[in-house]
Amino acid sequence: MGPKSARAYSTIREWIASGKLSPGDKLPSERTLVDDLEIGRTALRAVLARLVTEKVLGVRGRSSYFVRSHHSNDAVSVSKPEGLEPWRIHGERTIYDNRWVKLDLVDVEPPGVERFEHHVVRLQHVAIAAVLDDQDRVLMLWRYRFVPQEWGWELPGGIVDAGEDAQRTALREVEEETGWRPDSLEHVVTYQPMVGMVDSPHAIFVGRGAQHIGDPTDIEEAGHVEWVPIADIPTLMARGDLMGSGTLVALLHILATRGDNSSTASA
């Protein structure tokens, strides 16, 4: 982040800290901010994207920014339904088990349905990180995956070791697989990629800024390291060049929360 961008970033944060801008307030237009902050439009959008990633700002539509609430969960208009019954679990038995995958048969009884045995595949807890730089690029790996027998771009990540914090895992995996050390990472969401049959929590982290410390140390997991422009992501997605649900979830979050996702990648 250059001097003008850093000054603009600090000024917007100061407006919020001082109460000049309160939670829910809409920011001035980009044209007004460009004039008031004495910054170019491209650099301004990078600053706003960082503040959105940090959850200081929210965005409605394509370029209407507002100050987010200090609370961790913003209000939503839909309520959780009440009075519904969960499935009853009567027991389970293991069919196969090793350090990578466990297969169970679970004796379940859905409401109003006769009980039966349901296959459940239990995999590892995974952490994945999207690291952005001040040029609106994301740190990615071009890798070959033998299961689908395809090459593609994916974000660094890996298995959360027993007793390890998922954020610590994400930081470690970025460093080992790319040779870059993130300045910080913030948790975005933890989700299940195949919730009907597979138990494998995926924790997604996003951060901005990293320091190059050397070559990747995890040779098995390393690939070609590249800072990929966010503007290229929609086209790479349409081509099928992005691999893994964690990569897609993290990048879709970035696209959904940045101020300008209208840029198109070159063919």
- The answer, yes or no, to whether residue 140 has pLDDT greater than 60, is yes
pLDDT of residue 262: 38
R_g (Cα) of the chain, nearest Å = 22
Give CATH superfamily name and number for 126-257.
Nucleoside Triphosphate Pyrophosphohydrolase (3.90.79.10)
Q: Mean pLDDT over residues 175-180, rounded?
A: 95
Q: Give the chain's end-to-end CA distance (angstroms, integer).
A: 28
DSSP string, 120-141: EEE---EEEEEEE-TTSEEEEE
* Out of 37-41, 63-67, 176-180, 194-198, least confident range: 63-67
| Res 59: pLDDT | 81
Count of beta carbons in the 10 Å neighbourhood of residue 58: 17
Percent of the chain with pLDDT strictly greater than 90: 66
Choose the CATH number for 3-67 among 1.10.10.10, 1.10.150.250, 2.60.40.1180, 3.40.50.620.
Answer: 1.10.10.10
Dump pLDDT digits (tens) for 149-162. 999 999 999 999 98
pTM: 0.70
Rounded Cα distance between 206 and 251, Å, is: 9
Give every CB contact of residue 126 below 8 A, 6+ residues apart in sequence. 157, 158, 159, 160, 200, 201, 202, 203, 246
Any idea which residue has 């994301």 for tokens? 138
Instruction: State yes or no: pLDDT of 60 exceeds 90.
Output: no
Q: Are 100 and 124 in contact, with CB atoms under 8 Å apart?
A: yes
What is the reported pLDDT for 223? 76
Structure-block tokens of residue 125: 């807890």
Q: Which residue has the tokens 């940090």?
A: 54
Q: What is the mean pLDDT of residues 115-126?
A: 96
Given a cut of 60, whether residue 259 has pLDDT beyond it is no
pLDDT at 70 over 70: no
Quote the mean pLDDT of the chain.
88
Residue range(s) of every CATH 1.10.10.10 domain in the chain: 3-67
- In the prediction, which pLDDT does 62 show? 62
With beta carbons less than 8 A apart as the criterion, state whether 180 and 139 touch.
yes
Enumerate the CATH 3.90.79.10 domain ranges in the chain, comma separated.
126-257
Dist CA 74 CA 253 (whole Å) = 16
- Amino acid identity of 93? R
